[in-house]
Amino acid sequence: MNESSKAFLKSAYREYYFKHSDAVGFPEEIGSREFGYIPFGGTMVRHLSFKSPGEAIAEVVRQSPSSVYCSNARYESPSLPIEEKGWKGAELIFDIDATDIQTPCKKGHDLWFCAKCHAEGRLPRPRNCPKCHSSTEEFHTTCSVCLAAAKDHTLRLTGFLVDDFGVQAEMIKLYFSGNRGYHIHVFDDRFYLLNQAGRAEIADYVRGGSLPATQTIASILKRRPSEEQNTSLGWMKRIEFYASSQRQRTATLQKLASEAISSSRSLVDASVTTDVHRVFRLAGTLHGTTGMCKTPVESPSSFNPDTDPVVLSSSTVELQVDYCPEFRIGGRPFGPYAASRESLPTYAAIQILARGMGEVAR
């Protein structure tokens, strides 16, 4: 990314932060959190701390970085190196990303491409371009099907948290991540001191990873007297409910158990939940490569991930696009472009500039 593209993005982000500083959401006890940011074209700056939201906002506006992060952990001394910070506990956090959910549409919209000769094709990516032998890259996008799948897995997770872990619904906060999924923050004191192993068990449970083989589940179901079947809890309750809803079919119990698991499990990213020293995108801040906002989701049914998180200005900018396959943002398609000058709204231009597929035209 050249200097004029960097300057353009920084000023677009600054305009957003200047006008919408009240949209940035800080967790409790801001003074015990670690903050970090990534400047446009730079590398991560971590171990920052702020005494108040006002102090943090002033720095965000001043830097107008590509990404802003905050720890879910609280520390005695958040600005010291990790081993010296003094960990005091951390909220339980989950990340659900459409990339990790196998949707049938991915075959159509995820591509490999050659930046040199503009050849492209469906994944899996050949290491070298079949036409010009240059190295190739992957191009991932999302569509409404992918985003709906991520929302569905998010609702499955809140179901597990409420029904199986006894979390009160109002202690769960949902956010659109600003890219391809959702972040789920759980403000329930019972989890604050949980270590990595305990968090890994929770992630494994909601992913259905700790269940016995479907063959074993089928033989348990077969042996269970029907009068006991209403007393099941947790996963067994879900599986029995699914199996009884499919009674008119001739499928085996093993097949029904397998279907019940795949339609109930929530594919959270276990590595995110397990890491107790992580910094997460701060609520109300912009994603560095999409320009979309990490947006609080009050009502999942009415939240539209295609348009609600698109907050950058629609004023146009001239780009010299080297090459870019078709992508969607703000509910409409853009591209494909190849070696052309394009006049694009700012919210779409970021997608090309951040991927290094074009520059602001001079």
Beta bridge partners of 67: 38
Query: 3-state DSSP call for residue 19?
Result: helix
Closest CB to Zn ion among residues 102, 301? 102
Alpha-carbon span 70 to 34, nearest angstrom: 6
Closest CB to Zn ion among residues 105, 194? 105
Q: Give Cβ neighbours of residue 69 (< 8 Å, ≥ 6 apart).
A: 35, 36, 37, 46, 279, 280, 281, 282
Q: Give Cβ neighbours of residue 110 (< 8 Å, ≥ 6 apart).
A: 122, 123, 138, 139, 140, 141
Q: Shortest Cβ distance from residue 319 to Zn ion (Å)?
A: 22
Query: Which of these, 340, 291, 341, 349, lies nearest to 315 by C-alpha position?
Result: 349
Q: Shortest Cβ distance from residue 159 to Zn ion (Å)?
A: 23
Q: Shortest Cβ distance from residue 178 to Zn ion (Å)?
A: 18
Among positions 61-120, residues that touch Zn ion (CB under 5 A) are: 103, 105, 114, 116-117, 119
Q: Is 323 exposed, middle or buried, given 0-12, 13-18 or 19+ CB atoms closer than 10 A? A: buried
Number of residues in contact with Zn ion under rule CB under 5 A: 13
Alpha-carbon span 80 to 34, nearest angstrom: 9
Closest CB to Zn ion among residues 117, 253? 117
Q: Shortest Cβ distance from residue 143 to Zn ion (Å)?
A: 4
Q: Shortest Cβ distance from residue 347 to Zn ion (Å)?
A: 20
Bridge pairing between strands 358-360 and 316-324: antiparallel
Closest CB to Zn ion among residues 1, 143? 143
Closest CB to Zn ion among residues 103, 273? 103
Alpha-carbon span 16 to 144, nearest angstrom: 26
Alpha-carbon span 333 to 249, nearest angstrom: 41
Q: Shortest Cβ distance from residue 118 to Zn ion (Å)?
A: 7
Closest CB to Zn ion among residues 137, 164? 137
Among positions 141-180, residues that touch Zn ion (CB under 5 A) are: 143, 145-146
Q: Shortest Cβ distance from residue 152 to Zn ion (Å)?
A: 13
Q: What would you report as the CA-atom Rg of the chain, rounded to the nearest whole angstrom?
A: 23
The encoded tokens of residue 122 equal: 């469906």
Q: Shortest Cβ distance from residue 153 to Zn ion (Å)?
A: 14
Closest CB to Zn ion among residues 129, 267? 129
CB burial of 134-147 (b: ≥16 within 10 Å; e: otherwise) equals eebeebebbeeebb
Query: Which of these, 173, 187, 183, lies nearest to 298 by C-alpha position?
Result: 173
Closest CB to Zn ion among residues 105, 155? 105
Closest CB to Zn ion among residues 129, 256? 129
Q: Shortest Cβ distance from residue 106 to Zn ion (Å)?
A: 6
Among positions 233-272, residues that touch Zn ion (CB under 5 A) are: none
Q: x/- site string to Zn ion, residues 109 to 148, per CB under 5 A?
A: -----x-xx-x---------x-xx-x--------x-xx--
Query: Which of these, 232, 221, 288, lies nearest to 255 by C-alpha position?
Result: 221
Residues within the interface to Zn ion (CB under 5 A): 103, 105, 114, 116-117, 119, 129, 131-132, 134, 143, 145-146
